Amino acid sequence: METRIAVISIIVEKNESAESINTLLHEYGEYIIGRMGIPYRRRGVNIISIAMEAPQNTVAALSGKIGRIEGVSVKTAYSGVSFDD
């Protein structure tokens, strides 16, 4: 299985979206290397970065599901190197 390292950047503008995001991240937990969350109280948003290693279609699926949650913006960056396990 070919995998790539990716970073998913998420901006949460509605706190009600947090539960849906956490459910998805738990569902894809086996691929997640690390997670960082920053509450930006001054602007009322939360910023989340997810580092993961997974097949590209798995990363894209997670990013797409998160992007369909109301009040959430998401972008994904992939490494140029792939790995065969």
CATH of the domain at 47: 3.30.70.1150
The three-state secondary structure class of 2 is strand
The three-state secondary structure class of 40 is strand
Average per-residue pLDDT for the chain? 96
Range of 47's domain? Answer: 2-80
- In this prediction, residue 85 has a pLDDT band, given cuts at 50, 70 and 90, of confident
pTM beyond 0.85, yes or no = yes
- pLDDT, residue 68, reads 97
Q: Quote the CA–CA distance of 23 and 3 in Å, as a whole number.
A: 23
- In this prediction, residue 44 has a pLDDT band, given cuts at 50, 70 and 90, of very high
Task: Count CA within 13 A, CB hemisphere, residue 37.
Answer: 9
Residue 85 lies in a domain: no
